[in-house]
Chains A and B, each alone.
Chain A
């Protein structure tokens, strides 16, 4: 089976008598203007500026040539790693604060990758700080390592809580290792991970009672406390105030639940002032359906249609117990939503044309994005069987309205048709200008990983590839 003979074949320009559900106004909205990388660059600059500002007090406080012996050098290294760790901890919490600017400039996917990488660095920094200080002080006071730990715990203020904080951090870091994490249910892992907030609290005291740069009142101490307060404010704003405001304003309710295929449902939501939501196709919300079975769980799902002033729609594949419960949602059920989040949108493209590659239910955000991309986009839709193809009427309608080429590539990963398409040559044959396009990928991680590899082989630059995966 080659791709020419696959189900439905090429659909560009096909007229559909029904047109599917029209997703928005009948005249297609103009393509979204591009947003530059200015927001992301500003945040990167702020991060580095903050890091320098965190270590600068040590630099200014330490006379040159004053680190005579090994113990002095170790103490200094311990202080630097301590300052870095204190700063990174604040960055970690800030990144998880769901602050609108972060979610829209960096995007949830990039945030979670950064959170993991910075988390690993933070853990190493904390352990280095702890061991360097203990070894250095033991050397200075001519004690054994264990004796020094005892002295630190008994004679120094706030050190018991600091050691507890370090212990929690090690535990959280350990459970975040992918192999370990897979062994436990998501909910358990999530609640264990919440203990990280305790680290913020328990580690706070010792920085000020024992930190060489912080124990004295002055601009450094004031600045450090201000940084804590800022992060706390961001946390309260992003996690409490902003969602509260959004939900009081829009009051979303379930309007209908529609089966798209045997194992996929679409949930339609209505609410107030839907035209005022600053929403881009491809973004997601974290949804909490307020009925007895589901209210305690919050899950991210993409919208499967661009913003319009009548309804919102999310399309969900039934894979677990929570998604199974969603099939039985009653119309009128209240919905608590946090968002919109994500940089997987037409506005974040770097070129004028785009290639979208969807796998299975990964079509949802791409379907929403199609309404906002400039004409000339291309969509490759991978599905295992024809029955797994979702919303193909809508796609046909969009293909016509927005001059988009759509290919359905059906079959398992090892069939010759899909294999031929998912190769550098195959992609180039379908989309000759693939290297000059932005490529948006959404689907199962196996497909996404493979597609990224093939695209890189075909010569598509990394920054033109956009991914929507929530898995770490």
Chain B
């Protein structure tokens, strides 16, 4: 194998692929990135068996020649060294050449590096996925759906299924659900798909989605999502992003979302966020982040918290709408702040269903996303 390539393009792609490299892998070959030069371009593959990423560098784009292949072939190079090295090369061009026993020469300007490569035959194959079940979604929407749900996944490995976001697709409606038992985030979007494709209980680890999120562009690029038995594939322009699907059955959350409420409030999101943010400064005792909220028709929303060490805080916010009973509730301010930070609306609707049952938060005129927070029971 021998080729020359634009250094910054190679660097860009290696950074993407390296997101699948784990420091804790037990399989030696997976500490490397597989590099394959073909007549249609260069492929970089990295995997930790949980995530696999393959990026494709075409030989040319509309304007420029990116790479020139002198001899096709492949090699596996140590990922950590490769990512560092390519970033630090002096010249715009780099030449990669594999010699006997996978000894690989990397030349750039006056720099010449000889790396001990590994046999690409030992590198595992990418998961094979039947491409029948494909749906198409715009990358900015996928990004939004991840952002609005991922913060609610559990970090408790003892309930592994809750460490993921649950995907379901029914009648062209894609739903992401995440919960850590104390809060829940749900986001729905209409997507293009063959009408007969449905799936449910597809749970993708929050960590993997976080890596995917970093790769997704803000532009509205078409992303193809393909689901198989135990893998989900995201096709992003030149990148294939495979993720393992978590084993297990995701709990049924459909009945958890309350249909009726006792109190409904509409309030300015920014004002509420700032008030709770301030109150949370005094709520850090014993990691409870506990903030108290009382709501009544005359006084509006009052937010308070206290700390035996530092003192107490109390502030009031005017509501735009109120109906129902008075409210007196305590909750984890972090959970509320997480919701308000991702919620994309000027006004939020908060529904209370009781002092010891869920608080429901939605954008004022939007039923596509729902957030639930379970309050604290206080003595």
The judgment on whether A and B are partners is no
Q: Which residues of A contact B (CB under 8 A)?
A: none
